[in-house]
Amino acid sequence: MAKRRIFPSRTKGFSLVELLVAMVFTALLMAGMAKVFQASLGTFYTAGEKMSSARRNRLSLDLLYDDMNTAGMLLLPTDIAGGGPQSIPVSGANPLFAINPNVAVTIKKGNADGSDMVITSDELLMYSDDALPFEGTLKGAIPGTNSLIATAVQSGVVATVPTSTTFTVDCGTSGQAASVKQGMAVIFKDSLSGRGISSVAAGSGNQIVITPSASIQAAGGGSTGTSLLDPYGHLDGAKVLFVEVGQQVRYSIQPQKLDPNDPNKDIPCLVREQENYNPSGFVSYLTGGAPATANYSATVVAENVTGLKFYMSLNPGDTSTTPDKVWAGYGYTGTDFNAGILGAGGTAGPGTLNSQLASYGVTGFTNIAAQNATTAARDLVWFRNIPAAVRVDLTTRTATARTEFNQTTSTPTLTYNTHQETLVLVPRHFGLSL
């Protein structure tokens, strides 16, 4: 039997030239795909950072909107503007509403190249009575001086008006009860009268026992004298408000060391500070030191805020002239609130509020007094008589500098992307005369 012969296969592989050509085409394809992937990844990151910047911007404006709508909310208004028992001394040295223009702040390593950055922005200061976010319920009626006198007259005896008394309030929850502190005020909604709180003691359950101070304001604004009772008394079950009287809020851009990778680098932040009003001026403790009162608080509203400007107008819809004539403070490069915004204490410059008063007019008001230590108390609440609009221009930037944000040159450099939004409103209590 003949042996079977096996012939070698005639199939050939790729030649070296063919392999090299295939590798070149594969490399070109991979390079193209890498470029597309890099562009897509860059778009993903930049889009996310731009959205984050826009969210920070909107969050900041929302909080500013809420706070500005409480500016000038005077729950005990005659303590400032009238002849009532002025428990909160006020002074034009620290205006009740003010814009401090063009305050320079240095941000260490704030620029994209790592150099220091100087931000020139505005500060906003606002005064208000800050009501706690709940109502209490009076437990047990409180007699009034009028009823005590009437009862005594009917009985043919001399009326005896107590010089001290306490009353009990149910706050609803233990947490709300704990938030009521000495030095606050309580307002009875059945008579709209208010008084200071001299001391607070824990009662049964969610109740507290309040000892009022001798500083009392009746509904008409006058003092009730040395008696700790109102003329008309209060009903059992009457609702009460607890108020932090005389609070001042400041918004400003401040450097904060919040970068976990570089403890020496500053992040420009929008900061909200609140403290008991000080007639001498707002005292900030951001740079250290112990607060003078336990009421001081500071909150970082948003990071990477690089612009904060405030303007005021009596006719923001006027499009017939330039913005610097419509918005007080627009284009102003000085640092004086009286001169640059109000136009007070001298000749009112074009576009200032006093200049706008002369042009547009507000019935009964032709001039805003300069805010200084000699200003009368009633002139410190000028904004309660004049419905001025406030404009806020707020600028935020991305958290990271990227070359993708600077494609205008042949050699892109690291750059932050910025986002600006504008808020215009007439604060709720502006134009509501006391």
115 lies in the same domain as 231? no
Q: Among candidates 415, 107, 52, 397, which has minimal Cα distance to 267? A: 107
76 lies in the same domain as 222? no
Q: Is the dihedral of CA 243, 377, 309, 428 positive or negative?
A: positive
Q: Give the C-alpha separation, 82 to 243, whole Å.
A: 20
Burial of 92 (0-12, 13-18, 19+ CB in 10 A): buried
Q: Give the C-alpha separation, 352 to 359, whole Å.
A: 11
Identify the domain boundary among 236, 258, 285: 236
| Mean pLDDT estimate for the chain | 83
201 lies in the same domain as 305? no
225 lies in the same domain as 314? no
Instruction: Please indicate, yes or no, if residue 95 is contained in any of the structural domains.
Output: yes
220 lies in the same domain as 256? no
Write down the pLDDT at residue 138. Answer: 92
343 lies in the same domain as 394? yes
- Top pLDDT among 313 and 6 is at 313
Write down the pLDDT at residue 389. Answer: 95
- Top pLDDT among 355 and 43 is at 355
Q: How many structural domains compose the chain?
A: 2
Q: How far apart are the first and last CA of the chain?
A: 127
Q: Give the C-alpha separation, 126 to 329, whole Å.
A: 17
Write down the pLDDT at residue 126. Answer: 96
User: Is the pLDDT assigned to residue 61 strictly greater than 70?
Assistant: yes
Write down the pLDDT at residue 12. Answer: 65
Identify the domain boundary among 236, 271, 300: 236
Instruction: Please indicate, yes or no, if residue 186 is contained in any of the structural domains.
Output: yes
Per-residue pLDDT averaged across 160-187, rounded? 85
Write down the pLDDT at residue 87. Answer: 57
- Top pLDDT among 352 and 84 is at 352
Which of the four pLDDT bands, split at 50, 70 and 90, describes residue 328? very high
Write down the pLDDT at residue 394. Answer: 95
In sequence order, the 6+-apart residues with CB closer than 8 A to the CB of 231 are 144, 145, 146, 218, 224
Tokens encoding 255: 């450097």
Per-residue pLDDT averaged across 54-66, rounded? 91
269 lies in the same domain as 389? yes
Tokens encoding 318: 């006027």
129 sits in which H/E element: strand 117-139
Instruction: Please indicate, yes or no, if residue 14 is contained in any of the structural domains.
Output: no
Tell me phi and psi for residue 178, to 5 degrees: -70, -20
**How much of the chain, in percent, has pLDDT values that exceed 70?**
80
306 sits in which H/E element: strand 305-313
Which of the four pLDDT bands, split at 50, 70 and 90, describes residue 219? very low
Model-level pTM? 0.82
Full residue range of the structural domain in which residue 232 is found:
141-236
In sequence order, the 6+-apart residues with CB closer than 8 A to the CB of 403 are 412, 413, 414, 415
Instruction: Please indicate, yes or no, if residue 298 is contained in any of the structural domains.
Output: yes
User: Is the pLDDT assigned to residue 18 strictly greater than 80?
Assistant: no
153 sits in which H/E element: helix 145-155
86 lies in the same domain as 113? yes
- Top pLDDT among 61 and 142 is at 61
SS3 label, residue 167:
strand
User: Is the pLDDT assigned to residue 319 strictly greater than 90?
Assistant: no
Which of the four pLDDT bands, split at 50, 70 and 90, describes residue 273? very high
User: Is the pLDDT assigned to residue 63 strictly greater than 80?
Assistant: yes
CB 253 within 8 A of CB 310: no
Tokens encoding 291: 């607060």
146 lies in the same domain as 124? no
**Beta strand 193-202 pairing with 97-107:** unpaired
Which of the four pLDDT bands, split at 50, 70 and 90, describes residue 5? low
- Top pLDDT among 419 and 194 is at 419
Identify the domain boundary among 176, 211, 236: 236
Please report, for residues 170, 199, 232, the alpha-carbon distance to residue 161 in angstroms, rounded to integers and kept in the order given: 26, 21, 13
Burial of 236 (0-12, 13-18, 19+ CB in 10 A): exposed
- Top pLDDT among 140 and 164 is at 140
**How much of the chain, in percent, has pLDDT values that exceed 90?**
41
pLDDT in tens, 243-262: 988 899 999 999 999 998 89
Per-residue pLDDT averaged across 202-229, rounded? 66
pLDDT in tens, 19-35: 888 888 888 888 888 77
Q: Amino acid letter at 37?
A: F
Write down the pLDDT at residue 262. Answer: 92
